[in-house]
C-alpha cells in the first residue's frame, strides 16, 4: 500500500538537544511538506520541498532544518534554537501543483 510513514509516533527529548523526525513516502510524489500543529492554531508550514535537493522555508522555519537527498525522504531536524518545540508534527506530500496533500500519521514531540 502506498502512503506516508512518520516515525516515531511519540518522541521525548531534553531541552538543548537536537532531534530528527523521519518522513518517508512511497507515493512517487515530487512535493513534500512539514507542518506543526498546536491546539487551536491549525497547521503552520515549516518547510516544503518541490524536488530533490531543493527546499524552501515556510511560515515558521526558525529553529528547524530539513534535507531532501532522496525523493522518498524529507527528514526534519528540530534544533535547540527552536524556543517552543513541543508540538504535533505532520509530514505531507503531493503529486504536483494541482493535487491535494496526503498526510502521514504525525509525530508528537515533547521536550522537557
Closer residue to other proteins (CB): 38 or 81: 38
- Interatomic CA distance for residues 17 and 15, integer angstroms: 6
Q: Smallest distance, Å, CB 35 to other proteins?
A: 8
In whole angstroms, how far apart are CA 107 and each of 10, 50, 76, 98?
6, 22, 11, 27
Smallest gap from Cβ 99 to other proteins, in A, equals: 7
Joined grid coordinates for residue 77: 531536524
Closest CA to 10 of 88, 82, 68, 74: 88
Nearer to other proteins, 28 or 56 (CB): 56
With cell 498526510, the residue in question is: 103
Contact residues: other proteins, CB under 8 A: 4, 6, 31, 40-43, 45, 48, 50, 56, 90, 92, 94, 96-106, 108
Minimal distance in Å, beta carbon 28 to other proteins? 16
Nearer residue to other proteins within complex by CB, 79 or 86? 86
Amino acid at each position: 500500500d502506498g502512503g506516508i510513514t512518520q516515525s516515531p509516533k511519540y518522541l521525548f527529548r531534553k531541552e538543548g538537544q537536537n532531534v530528527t523526525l523521519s518522513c518517508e513516502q512511497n507515493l512517487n510524489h515530487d512535493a513534500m511538506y512539514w507542518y506543526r500543529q498546536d491546539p487551536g492554531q491549525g497547521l503552520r508550514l515549516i518547510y516544503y520541498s518541490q524536488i530533490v535537493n531543493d527546499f524552501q522555508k515556510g511560515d515558521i522555519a526558525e529553529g528547524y532544518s530539513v534535507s531532501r537527498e532522496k525523493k522518498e525522504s524529507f527528514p526534519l531536524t528540530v534544533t535547540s534554537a527552536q524556543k517552543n518545540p513541543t508540538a504535533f508534527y505532520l509530514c505531507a506530500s503531493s503529486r504536483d501543483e494541482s493535487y491535494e496533500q496526503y498526510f502521514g500519521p504525525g509525530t508528537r514531540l515533547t521536550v522537557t
